[in-house]
Structure 1
Amino acid sequence: MTSSAPKWTRETWPIAAAMIQYPNMLPDGRSVQDQTVEEWAKTVGEVADAGFTELDPTDSWLRVADLSADRRRAFCEVVKDAGMTIPAISTSRRSVIDEKHGDEYLDYSHRVIETAAEIGAQSVSFGFFEPLTDKQKSALWFWTEQGAKNPDDPATWNKAVTRIAELGRHAAEVGIDVSLEMYEDTYLGTADSSVRFVEEVGLANVGINADLGNLIRLHRPVEHWLQMMTKVAPFAKYWHVKNYMRIEDEHAGLIASHPVPLESGLINYRTAIKLALEHGFNSPFLCEHYGGDGLSVSATNRDYLRRILPRN
């Protein structure tokens, strides 16, 4: 990515709300996929009331790409009526190299790209992380338990590169950016492997979702956030932002973390964003937060981003 002037100001930069705080399955046993338009509107209205003008229909909540054409149009009308737009679509735990469902998820990812183009989004986010294990589901913080790992296997790595390149070419045809999410124990589990991966894909519209929060929250040694950000900044595209407080006591053998607002955590986002902007970062942001009132903390994070983004 080459340096260029941002196309937005701090007031106009697209900063979307994630929908991770909303479950896909409802207490009555229904899926959000089957909700009425009025029920969708109630949830979307909460996001609008938090001051967001952009929303990412994260597919852990709603698989917009799997709605019928009529239902998809109805959902987009709900978003429009709430005064919001959809700058990007994020996928979660639908890896195209999943041992059982990889082919299915590859087809799904193509539908996500087509849907993004249809509804006017400019980015999609994919990742190689898999469904939570039973231990992760029962833990207070799922990242404190070991999750699935991408295999240390050159053939599977090459399969991943080939499939993302296929998706990247499709996305380029319809004017969409692909952002690959950094996540532990995947092929984007470190800064070095993330850079290597996107360089092997070799497409200008395929970059890195620099979600360093996924890594600094781990209760294990990790590379310093600034070193990671320096490496991935030239490749940064659609960016999930969240932050954690991290405590390390080498003498006690203790590493612990917990979620905090963007401005209060280990990652200095003022510095991280400056690094990305120096390399021409021109993509939307997504605010997310685990624990408590995630929507309100995400709104606080959005306001912080607007204070530190370029004035013009």
Structure 2
Amino acid sequence: MHPFRPVDRHGVALHDAPAERWDELFRDVSRAGFTALEIADSHIRPADLTTSRRNELLSIAADNDVTLLSVHVQRQSVIQAGVGEANLAYAHRTIDAIAEMGMQVLSTGLHQPLTAAQRDAAWFWTVPGHADPRDEDIRALAVKRLRGLGRHAAEVGIPISLEMYEDTYLGTADSAVRLLEEIGLDNVGLNPDIGNLIRLHRPIEDWRAAYEKTLPYANYWHMKNYARDEIGGGQAYSCVPTTLELGFINYRDVVRTAVQGGYRGPFLMEHYGGDSLGVSATNRRYLQDLLASDASPRKHEPLALRRR
């Protein structure tokens, strides 16, 4: 939902907007060729809508031939100091809302609100933000609370996907895999959004190795790409958003590897800046071409689920 204003020019939040504004949003999504949408809670919070407004949201989406696929709970970490318990309760209410509305996935993570300096930057990822502490007790608390969410979600038949994000316990491939294995639930998987990591203005882990480690746990996927440059052997870095095709990650290679390995989850097109919806549509067409070109049957060994 990056293309859409969370608050309009008149100060009305999209969450509280009249039906006409929601209809305009879904018309734009449909005209761009999309048939499904992830609801970001930065824009609309299904857990905080009345039943009548939830039904209205579903009806308007259906009138525009758009399916509400998932809810992304972002920057509301269950271990955030002072509000972790409140964020946990909100995530549980979101699971109930997803189940009531017939959506398919809860996407969330451990990233926390942007700092003032990040909000003031041209690109927020160029400024350091919150980092989860190197504290095994707090990490254990994250595992406990996420496991509780996973068990709740399993009761209503919903998978949870945890988004990789820098400087959290989901901030490297090894740390993310360890967290998934510690949670140990079949319905809790990984959103291998390596795009969040390659955009950092600092040394990064190799994206190929990161995907090799994380794809066996993937059940949902935020896809975006960046043009990355490193100057003077690490003296300076540059990174700006671009299309899936033109960026640093070779998505032709990684998508083929994922699909051959058994990935069958959703692909979500994500882009920052400019005409985000238009670029997302371009990326969708590129991805559809990749999937179509690999549609012929082939023999392959499925990627092993290493937590088994």
- Equivalent residue number for residue 10 of structure 1: none
**Number of matched pairs:** 294
- 2:283 corresponding residue in structure 1: 301
The partner residue of 1:38 within 10, 15, 20 is 20
Report the counterpart of residue 295 of structure 2 in structure 1: 311
2:211 to 215, 218, 229: 229
Q: Distance in 2 between matches of 1:252 and 1:43?
A: 42
Deviation string, structure 1 residues 50-97 (Cα, Å, up to 9, x no partner): 111111111111112210000010001010000010222111111111
3-state DSSP class of the match of 2:42? coil
Give the match's secondary structure for 1:132.
Answer: coil
Q: Distance in 1 between matches of 2:152 and 2:233?
A: 51
Matched with 2:306 is none
Partner of 2:101: 119
In structure 2, the CA distance between the partners of 1:171 and 1:191, relative to structure 1 (3 Å rule), is: same
Contact 2:203-2:234 within 8 A present in 1 as well? no
Cα distance per residue 1:14-40 (max 9 Å; x no partner): xxxxx0222322221221121111111
Question: Do the aligned residues in 1 keep the contact of 2:164 with 2:176 (CA within 8 Å)?
Answer: yes
Aligned to 1:81: 63
TM-score, structure 2 as length reference: 0.93
User: How big is each residue's C-alpha offset from its partner over 1:237-272, in whole Å with a ceiling of 9 and x where there is no partner?
Assistant: 111000001111244612111100001111111211
TM alignment of 1:263-282, pairs within 5 A: 263-282=245-264
Q: TM-score, normalised by structure 1?
A: 0.91
Pick one of 5, 29, 36 that aligns with 1:54.
36
**What is the aligned partner in structure 2 of residue 292 from structure 1?**
274
1:68 aligns with 2:50: yes
Give the deviation of 1:225 after TM superposition.
0.5
Deviation at 1:311, TM superposition (A): 2.6
- Contact 1:20–1:61 under 8 Å retained in 2: no
The structure 1 residue matched to 2:152, chosen from 170, 193, 206, is 170
**2:3 aligned with 1:21, yes or no?**
yes
The match for 1:199 among 171, 181, 184 is: 181
Cα distance in 2 for residues equivalent to 1:24 and 1:111 = 21
- Structure 1 contact 124–238 (Cα < 8 Å) conserved: no
Structure 2 residue identity aligned to 1:32: L
* Equivalent residues in 2 for 1:134-145, closer than 5 Å: 134-145=116-127
User: 1:153 aligned to 118, 135, 144, which one?
Assistant: 135
Matching residue's letter, 2:166:
E
Corresponding residue for 2:88?
Answer: 106
Quote the Cα distance in structure 1 between the aligned partners of 2:102 and 2:264.
16
| Cα pair distance change 1:153/1:306, threshold 3 Å | same
CA distance in 1, matches of 2:45, 2:154: 22
- Provide the alpha-carbon RMSD of the alignment: 1.2
**In structure 2, distance between residues paired with 1:279 and 1:311:** 14
Question: Does the CA-based 8 Å contact 2:202-2:234 persist in structure 1?
Answer: no
Identity score, percent: 47
Question: In 2, distance between residues paired with 1:199 and 1:301?
Answer: 32
> Does the 8 Å contact 1:262/1:301 carry over to 2?
yes
Q: Which residue of 1 aligns with 2:227?
A: 245
> How far has the Cα of 1:274 moved from its partner?
2.2
- After TM superposition, give the deviation of residue 156 of structure 1 in Å: 0.7
1:114 is displaced (CA, Å) by 1.6
The range that moved more, 257-266 or 102-111, is 102-111
CA–CA distance in 1 between the matches of 2:218 and 2:103? 17
Q: Give distance in 1, aligned partners of 2:94 and 2:256.
A: 30
Q: Relative contact order: is structure 1 or structure 2 higher (C-alpha 8 Å, sep ≥ 6)?
A: 1
Q: Secondary structure at the match of 1:57?
A: strand
